[in-house]
């Protein structure tokens, strides 16, 4: 009989937390769902995404917080995305919503 082998698949999550002014929130959310998220996925470095509206902690009166999480199979996939696509896509996002949006990014490893 052969030995049982344990194969561990680690998932990398690229998480983008967005603080968006409420006066452009609807336009931003529509643009994210119809254009930007698909542009990120079309780079070929991510498998899927989830988008969340943050409810706790509560938002300020003029801002809503969202979290978009993209998953990829390896840090190499993320690194290639970062080197070849991230700057362009982040710039598009910033230019479109200018002073109405702030973003914080992190990368997490599933354990």
Query: Using CA atoms, how far apart are residues 76 and 95, in angstroms rounded to an integer?
Result: 28
The number of beta carbons lying within 10 Å of the beta carbon of residue 40 is 21
Q: The pTM is what?
A: 0.86
DSSP E strands in the chain: the ranges are: 12-21, 48-53, 63-72, 101-109
Checking if the pLDDT of 7 tops 60, the result is no
Q: Which residues pair with 72 in a beta bridge?
A: 12
pLDDT band of residue 4 (cuts 50, 70, 90) is low
Domain ranges of the chain: 12-109
Checking if the pLDDT of 104 tops 60, the result is yes
Q: Check residue 66 and give its pLDDT.
A: 97
Q: How confident is the model over 6-24, as a mean pLDDT?
A: 87
Average pLDDT, the chain: 91
Show Cβ contacts of residue 13 under 8 Å, excluding neighbours closer than 6 positions. Answer: 69, 70, 71, 107, 108, 109, 110
Residue-wise pLDDT tens digits, 43-63? 999 999 999 999 988 777 899
Residue-wise pLDDT tens digits, 61-79? 899 999 999 999 899 999 9
Q: How is domain 12-109 classified at the architecture level of CATH? A: 2-Layer Sandwich (3.30)
- Region of poorest pLDDT, from 2-6, 19-23, 86-90: 2-6
**88 alpha-carbon distance from chain centroid:** 14
């Amino acid at each position: 009989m052969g030995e049982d082998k344990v194969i561990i698949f680690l998932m990398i999550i690229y998480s983008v937390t967005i603080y968006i002014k409420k006066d452009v929130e609807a336009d931003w959310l529509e643009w994210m769902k119809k254009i930007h998220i698909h542009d990120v996925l079309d780079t070929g470095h991510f498998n899927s995404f989830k988008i969340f509206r943050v409810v706790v902690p509560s938002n300020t009166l003029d801002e809503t917080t969202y979290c978009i999480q993209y998953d990829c199979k390896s840090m190499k996939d993320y690194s290639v995305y970062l080197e070849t696509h991230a700057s362009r896509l982040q710039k598009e996002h910033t230019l479109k919503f200018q002073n109405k949006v702030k973003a914080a990014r992190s990368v997490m490893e599933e354990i």
